[in-house]
Every structure is written in structure tokens, then in C-alpha cells.
Amino acid sequence: MTREQQLTLQIQSETGELEAVLLHYPGAEVENMTPRHAQRALYSDILNLSIARKEYNQLLGVLQKTSRVYEVSDLLTGLLEKDVCKEKLLRKICETESVLGYLDMLMDQPASSLSKILLEGLPLQVNTLTDFLREEYYALKPLYNFYFTRDSSAIIGNSAWICKMANNVRLRESLIMDAIFNSGLYFHTDVRNSYELSDNNPLVKIEGGDILVIREDILLIGNGTRSSTQGIDLLVQEFCKTGSGKKHVIVQQLPESPESFIHLDMVFTMLDTDKAMVYKPLIMSNSPYQTVHMQIDNGKVTRISSANGILNLLRKLGIDLEPIICGGKADDWDQEREQWHSGANFLAIAPGKVLSYARNIHTLEELDKNGFKVVAANDVINGQYDIQSTDKCVITIEGSELPRGGGGPRCMTMPLRRKNIS
């Protein structure tokens, strides 16, 4: 691919028309798990892959109608066909996962086979008593979570940010994304790697589900179990270096439990330029969790102060959002139940056109009351609903299996390019 054919990455908002997106189709790695390993894999339960794929096909089908879709396994296979890229990535993986004894064997694999190994796992070769007695099947563990492409990297402006994952079981996802973005094969971008920038400081954690690009000059970041204050400080340090003038970082503290609060995008996502989906008990009610405003002027943090919630602060910055309540306004029980099943986790494919799970019926009813037409994904895929119509809409995908991994449509997608909002 020539430089002219490379995609220039650009994300300046959460709702601008989605032009390109990165996905990973769930594969055998999802089934390479036992119930006793589900917690280690960060799942609430094991998945039925065949059903999960049927549900995922609805997400994929809608996105293929609206955007250019890049697939992780395709990009990885192409990368591994280049000997220099292959050796560099494999050496880094084998060093970080303490399996250098497998490097030569892996180097001998053709690109297509090697791509599957790096995604689906490599069984342990039992040559020693130590290996025999280990309660471990894999030398390289499967990447159970990679279908949640949101977390291991994020595009902020024109830069690719490689996230420093909170759990080592996801480290290889970041290594693969770093290799893809740095290869020069597919994308035109500058890469900022939080592992390298932090000298691999164990206190630094930052994941893409906690990063929302509200406007070119405003980042909204969650501070919880997956993104530490040290990780956010590192991101802010790099954000200061881009552009000039005044910028803002809004930090929202999150509870450590339940696990459905894993990222900010599980309690707050943008639906339109003037609407947001919110989990009311955390975002709108009197909450013990702070909202912090960091002001940047000409590359330096000039002020840090407490704010009275995300919505109030954004209003002061010129973004007046109408909150739509996850689970509906009527019942706290419905709000809690539907938030658990990713009811606040929406992906906007254009202003006022969003993707959601069909199971969260009270959330969908609330959207319908606010002018969003509820449309089944298959109706979009089959051409029975014109996605280019002027209607505000919420496109629903089935979600009995996919949510067991702990996320929704925003979690499963990593936007690479959006049109600017005029």
C-alpha cells in the first residue's frame, strides 16, 4: 500500500460520521477457555461462539453498509508477511511473555498460521517437570478480549495512542496494535506508546473504553479500575503537546465495583451532538465520585479543579447535552439491570444514528420517546431501512452472548476516522 493509499487517521468527536473502523471478528480464542479461567480472561461467563458470531455479524453487517471496515487478523497477517516486522513483533511478544524458547519455532510459521497462533493461543510444549506440573495449557494465552478492539488503542486527533492495559492477559493486544500502526503498511499517523512513554511503570494504566473525544479541544476520561490517575496524567502530558491554545480534560471517577462500571463508556456515551446516554445514579445524582476539570493553555496544565458533574461542566464549555436515561426514568431497578447489560454503551455511526443491544428494552423505549426510531440491524443489512435517511435511529443487534464478555457496541469498535462536525 502506497502512502497515498494509506488511511489518514482522524477522530475529533464521538459522533461525526464514521468513515473507517477497526474490528476483530470473534474466533476460536473465545472458546479456548474453561469456566475456571473465565475470571482470569475478564469474562463474567463463557460464550457460545456460534451464537456470539451470529450476533456479531449484525454489528459487522451494519458497519460494512456505512464505513470502511478493517479487520485485525487481516492487518496482522499482512504485517507478518514482512520479515522485519515479523521478527520485531515476535521478539517483543516472546520477551514480554517469557517464552523466548518458542521464538525460532514461531519465526518458521507462515504468516496466516502465525496470525492465528498469536490470536488464538499456543499450547505449552511439556518438556520439563516444571511444565508438567504447571496448571497451564498455553505458552501464549488466547486473546479472549480482542473482539473489544476499543481498549488496546485509541485515536485522538491524528495520533494513535497505544494503551497500557490494566491486565497482563491483554498486553499482547497492545503489542499487536503498536506493530500495526508503526508498520507504515496501512495508516498514516504518529504513534504514542504508553508502555514506552511510562518506562513500563506498573502504576500507569489507561484503556480506550475510558477515553472519549468530545471535541477537538475536549477529552473526557474515566478514572477507575482500568485507568489510573498516573495513566491519565501521562495521556494529558501528551495531549498538551498537540496543537496550541486552550484545551480541557474532564476526568470522571468511577466505582471499583460492580464490574459493569469497568470503563466510562459503560455509564456515559454520546448519541448526537446534543444528546448523551447516561447511567443516572452515577452521572446525574449526587455521587461521591468526583468530576475533575483540567485546563490546558499553550501546552501546560494551568488549573485543576472540582466540577459539578460532566453535564454541567460541558455546558460551561459550550456543549449543552440532553441526557437520556439508561433503563428509562421510571425504575431504579431497570436502570441498574440494563446498565449491567451494556445499556449505556452506544456507538454513534453518525450524529443521531447509534448502535445498541436489542435486549435493553427500557433504554430503547426512552430513546423512542426522544425521537429515535428503533430499527433492527437486519433491516439495515437487507436494505429494508435506509440508513441515509434523515431519521434519528437506534439500530439494534441481538445480544444474548456478546455481553457476557463485558461490553457493548462501543467496546467492540475502534473508530479510525470520522468526518468533522460542522
- The domain ranges of the chain are 7-418
Give the CA angle between residues 92, 93, 97 to the nearest 5°: 120
- pLDDT band (50, 70, 90) for residue 37: low
Rg (Cα) of the chain, in Å, rounded?
Answer: 21
The long-range contacts involving 166-172, CB below 8 angstroms and separated by at least 24 positions, are 166/205, 166/207, 166/225, 166/226, 166/227, 166/228, 167/42, 169/40, 169/41, 169/42, 169/141, 169/144, 169/145, 170/42, 170/143, 170/145, 171/96, 171/97, 172/93, 172/96, 172/97, 172/118, 172/140, 172/143
Per-residue pLDDT at 167: 92
Cell of 275: 444528546
Q: What percent of the chain has pLDDT over 90?
A: 79
- pLDDT band (50, 70, 90) for residue 43: low
- pLDDT band (50, 70, 90) for residue 59: very high
Per-residue pLDDT, averaged over 416-421, amounts to 96
Higher-scoring residue by pLDDT: 31, 378? 378
Q: For residue 188, what are the β-bridge partners?
A: 8
**CA 286 to CA 280: how far, in whole Å?**
10
Taking 90 as the threshold, does the pLDDT of residue 367 lie above it?
yes
Taking 60 as the threshold, does the pLDDT of residue 44 lie above it?
no
pLDDT tens string 155-168: 999 999 999 999 99
**CA 380 to CA 70: how far, in whole Å?**
20
Per-residue pLDDT at 41: 52
Cell of 320: 449543552
Burial of 337 from C-beta contacts in 10 A (0-12 / 13-18 / 19+): middle
- pLDDT band (50, 70, 90) for residue 33: low
Domain 7-418 is found in CATH 3.75.10.10: yes
Mean pLDDT of the residues in the chain: 92
Taking 70 as the threshold, does the pLDDT of residue 35 lie above it?
no
Per-residue pLDDT at 354: 98
DSSP conformation class of 11: B
**CA 255 to CA 281: how far, in whole Å?**
12
- pLDDT band (50, 70, 90) for residue 261: confident
Taking 60 as the threshold, does the pLDDT of residue 179 lie above it?
yes
Q: Are 162 and 198 in contact (CB under 8 A)?
A: no
**CA 51 to CA 55: how far, in whole Å?**
6
pLDDT tens string 205-243: 999 999 999 999 999 999 999 999 999 999 999 999 987
Per-residue pLDDT, averaged over 367-389, amounts to 95
- pLDDT band (50, 70, 90) for residue 34: low
Taking 70 as the threshold, does the pLDDT of residue 106 lie above it?
yes
Taking 90 as the threshold, does the pLDDT of residue 97 lie above it?
yes
**Least confident piece of the model among 94-108, 132-146, 297-311:** 132-146
- What would you measure as the largest C-alpha separation in the chain, in angstroms? 66
Helix axes 111-120, 83-96, angle to 10 degrees: 20
Taking 80 as the threshold, does the pLDDT of residue 328 lie above it?
yes
